[in-house]
Chain A
C-alpha cells in the first residue's frame, strides 16, 4: 500500500463519529491512572468518576443523536444508522446501571475495584462499535474484545469457585463460538472473493459488497455454509437454542452485576449484529430461504427450551438466565419477522429497552437480597420479602411482571409489538409457540412474586443459611423506583419513543 493509498484511506476517517467510544476508552485509562496517582483514601472516588464519565457521554450522545446518522466512516468499517445510535444509548445505560449494581455487590467482596470499572468501560465501548460495524473484520475484532473482557468479568470473584468455574466454562464455550464464527467468515470471504463466480468482489468482508455477491449467487453451497456458521457463532452470544448450554452455569457463577451485563448488554449486542446481518438491507437478506427457516426453528426451540428449563429452577440466577434464553427466543421472533413486516425492527428495539429496564430492576433487587456467597441465591430467600422490605418486593413485582409481559407494563408492549409484527410476517405457528411460552413463563415469574408476597409455609431452614441481604441505599432506591416507574410509564404511554420506533 502506497503512502497515497493510506492518505486516501485516512481521509475517510471521521474520528468525531466515534467520539463517544473514544471518550469511554480515555475514561478507562484515566481510571487506571487515578488508581496510581490518588492516595488510597481517595480511591472511593474512582467509581464516581467512572459513573460521571459515562453519564456525561450519555448526555452528549442524547444531545447529538442525529450527528452522524447515515454516514459511513473508516472506509466502510462503520455504518452510523439510527438503530446504531439507539444501541449506543442502550449500552451506555447498561454500563451506568452495572456500575450501580457493582457498588453494592463488590462492597461485599475482598476484590480490587477499579479494574472492574475499567473493563466494563472497555467492553461497553466495543459493544457500541459492534452495533455499528459494517465489516466482518470490525465485527470480529469488536466481538473478541467484548468476549475477552467478559471472560475476566465472569471470573472476577476469584476466591469463589463458582465464579472461576463459570469463567472457564464461558472461556471454552466462547472460544468454540468464536471459532465457528471465524470459520463462517473465512468461508464467506473465500467464496465471495473467488474470481470464478459472478459478481465476485475484491472486498468480500464489507457488508454491502458481500450482500451484492450473495444476491448474485442465491444458492451457493459454500456461502450458505458460511452463513450458517456465522449464525451459529452469534447464537452462542445471544444464548439461543441449541447454543444456550453455557447460560445457566455462567449466569449463576458470575458476579450478579456481570450476570446483568451478560443478560442485557451482551445479548443486545448479539441482536444488533443479527439485525444488521439478517434484517432488510443486510448482507444475508437474499439468503432468506436459509436464514428465515433456520431462525424460525431456533426461535421456537429457544422459547420452549428457555421457559421449560426455567420452570424447575430454584436458584434465581439460573432462573433469570434461562428466562433470558426465552427472551432471546421472543427477540428472534422479531428478527424473523423483520424480513416481511415494517414494524418488526422497531418492535425489537422497543423489546430490548423494556427488557433492559425490567432486567435491571430485578437484578437491582437481587444484589440486595443476596448474601456473601453471590452464586447462592435461592427462591426461598425471597420468602417474606414483602414484609421485610416492601419497597424491594414491590419493585421486584414490577420488574418480573414486565419480564413476564403483563399489561400495563413495558414488557407487554414489547411482546405485543413483536406479536403484531410476527403476524404481519405470517409466522403463525411461531406465534402460537410464543403464546404457549408466555403462559409457561407466567408460572415461574408468578412463582417468584408468590415467594416474595404470599405468606406460605417454608420448610424450616438453618437461619444462618438465609442471607440477611443489604438494605438499599438512597441512590439505589431512587434508581430502582425510577426504573419501576419507567416500566409502568412506558406501558401506558410510549410517547415519542414509540412513535419514532413504529414510524421507522
Chain B
C-alpha cells in the first residue's frame, strides 16, 4: 500500500472515519465542528478530480486508478478505485449533494443530532465509494453501506407513517439489492474472468462474449434488480412513500444520488458487458418506462395534494426518461441519461430541501392549505420556481440537455414512444407550475393565514440558503456549460457504444 495522495480514497474515508469517531463517543461539540470538514472534503476531492480529469493519466479508460488488497484477491476482489467519464460526473454529483445535505442537516437542529450526523456521514462515504469503485463487488458493497442508514433515518426522524414507510422501503430495496447481487454473481461466475474488476471483466468479455441466452438472463436479473432500486414501474411504490416520510437530508441524498446507483450499474456494467441482453430487453424496458413511469406515474403526480409526495412521484416519473435513454443503447441516448442523472440529482435534492423549508413556514405539506407565500418569502419563492423550471427541463438548467438528447436518440429508436414520452413533458409542466402557483401565489388559504398569524413567516435564512445555492449553482453551471461534463462522458461511452453496435 503506497501512501500517495489518493483523492478518491480520502473522499470515501473522511466521512466514514468521522462516523466511526462519533460512534466511539466523540463529544457533540467536536462532532458538529468536524462534520463541516467531513462534509466538505468529499466535495473538494470531487472538484479536484473534475478539474484534473482531462489531464490525468488513464489506464483501461480509468483515471486516478489505485488498488488496495483486502484479503480476497483469490476471488478476484480488491478495493480498486478509479473514475471514468461516466462515474466522474456522478462522483461530483455525490460530493455536491452530500455537502448540501450535510449543511442542511447541521442547521436542522434534529433530535439526537450526533446519531443523525453519523448516519448521514456513513451514507456520504458509501455514495462516494459507489461511484469511485472499479470493482463491482465494492460497487455493490458501498451501495448497501449507503442504503442502510436511509432506513434507520426514515424510521427515527421520519414524518407521517415513518414506521411503515421504513419497513416497506427496507423490504423493497432489499429485494432489489438481492436480485442484482445474484445478477452480479452470475456475471462473475459465467464470465469465467475470475475477477470482479470491471476492467478485467471488460477485457475478458470482449475476447469471449457470453452466449445470448446467458446474456439475456443476467441482463434480466440486473434490469429488474436495479430497476427496483431506481423505482421502475410497477415496482416504484416504495419511493414516494419513503421520500414522503424521510427527513430532508436523507431524501436529498437518496433521491438525488443513491437512486442513481441502479442506472449507473446498468450503464457501467450491464450495457457494455451484456450488449445482446440490452437489445433483447430494450423494448420491454422502454414500454414499461414510457407507459408506467412517464404516463401512469405522471398522472398520479398531477393528482397529489402533498408537496413531498408530489416531488417523490415526480422523481419516479423522471426516472422513466432515464430508462428510455438507456433502452436506446446509443451513445447519444446513454450520454443523455448520464447528464440527466446529474441534473435530476441536483434538482430533486433542491426540491426536497425547499419543500422542508416551505414546511417550516407553513407547518403543512398539503398544498391546498398554502398560498401567497411569495409575498412573505420572495427569495424562497425564487429558488422554488427555479428548481421547478429545472425539473421541468427548461433551457438554461442542466435537465434540459439530458432530456433533449434522450428525446433525439429516442426518435431513432421508436417515434411512437418518443411522442408518448413528450406528453410527459406537458404533464410535468402541469404539476410543476401548478404546485409553484398554489404554494407561492394567489390568495393564502385560511389555514395558512392562521399559521402565519401564530408563527411570523421569515424568508430563507443564510443557513438554509447556502446549501440551496450550492445545488442551484451546480444546475446552472451544467445548464450553461454542459461541455464541462459531456466531453468526459463521450469518451467513456465510445467503446461501450461500439460493443453495443457490433451486436
Q: Is A475 an interface residue (CB 8 A)?
A: no
- For residue A438, CB closer than 8 A to chain B, the reply is yes
Q: Is B206 on the interface with A (CB-CB < 8 A)?
A: no
Residue of B nearest to A499 (CB): B71
Is B163's CB under 8 angstroms from A454's CB?
yes
Instruction: Verify if B257 is at the interface (C-beta below 8 Å from A).
Output: no
A407 interface residue, CB < 8 Å from B?
yes
Contact A455 B156 (CB under 8 A): yes
Q: Is the CB of A420 within 8 A of B148?
A: no
Q: Give the CA-CA distance A449 to B163 in the complex, in Å.
A: 12
Render B139-163 as a binary contact track against A, CB cut-off 8 A, 1 for contact: 0110011001001100110000011
Which single member of B74, B141, B167 contacts A503 (CB below 8 Å)?
B74
How extensive is the interface on chain B, given as a class? 20 to 34
Quick check: A495 and B71 within 8 Å, CB to CB? yes
Over the window 138-160 of chain A, the binary record of Cβ atoms lying under 8 Å from chain B Cβ atoms (1 yes, 0 no) is: 00000000000000000000000
The residue that B70 contacts in the complex, of A416, A417, A442, A492, with Cβ under 8 A, is A492
Q: How far is the CB of A393 from chain B (nearest CB, A)?
A: 10
Chain B proximity of A434: nearest CB distance (Å): 9
In the complex where A406-B144, A453-B152 touch, is A423 in contact with B189 (Cβ < 8 A)? yes
Docked complex: B174-208 residues within 8 A CB-CB of A: 174-175, 178-179, 181-182, 185-186, 188-189
Q: Which B residue's beta carbon lies closest to that of A415?
A: B181
Q: In the docked arrangement, what's the CA distance between A417 and B145, Å?
A: 18
| B186 to chain A: closest residue by CB | A423
Q: Point out the residues of chain B lying under 8 angstroms from A438, CB to CB.
A: 174, 178
Is the Cβ of B182 less than 8 Å from the Cβ of A432? yes
Report the minimal beta-carbon distance from B76 to chain A, rounded to whole angstroms.
Answer: 10
Q: Give, as a whole number of angstroms, the nearest-CB distance from B487 to chain A.
A: 34
| Interface residue? B473 (CB, 8 A) | no
B interface, over-half SS = helix
Instruction: Tell yes or no: A401 within 8 A of B by CB.
Output: yes
For B122, the closest partner residue in chain A by CB is A408
Count contacts on A: residues with CB < 8 A to the other chain: 38
CB-based contact B171/A443 at 8 Å: yes
With both beta carbons as reference points, the residue of chain B lying nearest to A491 in the complex is identified as B141
Mark out the residues of chain A between 389 and 437 whose CB falls within 8 Å of any chain B CB in the assembled complex.
394, 401, 406-408, 412, 416-417, 419-420, 423-424, 431-432, 435
The answer, among A406, A419, A455, A499, for a CB contact under 8 Å with B185, is A419
Docked complex Cα distance between A424 and B185 (Å)? 9
| A19: Cβ under 8 A from any B Cβ | no
How far apart are the CA atoms of A18 and B174 in the complex, in Å? 46
Across the interface, do B156 and A454 meet the contact criterion of CB distance under 8 Å? yes
The listed residue with most B CB atoms (<10 A of its CB), out of A407, A494, A495, A497, is A407
Judged by a CB distance under 8 angstroms, whether A289 is at the interface is no
Complex contact A343–B75 (CB within 8 A): yes
Closest Cβ neighbor of A493 among chain B residues: B70
For A449, give the chain B residue with the smallest CB separation. B152
Known: A406-B144, A450-B155. 7 other contacts (CB 8 A): A407-B140, A412-B144, A424-B189, A446-B170, A447-B167, A498-B71, A502-B71
9 nearest A-B pairs in the assembled complex, by CB-CB distance:
A498-B71, A494-B71, A407-B144, A502-B74, A495-B71, A435-B178, A454-B155, A499-B71, A423-B189
Instruction: Sample 8 A-B pairs with CB under 8 A, ordered by A number.
Output: A419-B182, A424-B189, A438-B174, A438-B178, A443-B167, A446-B167, A450-B155, A503-B74
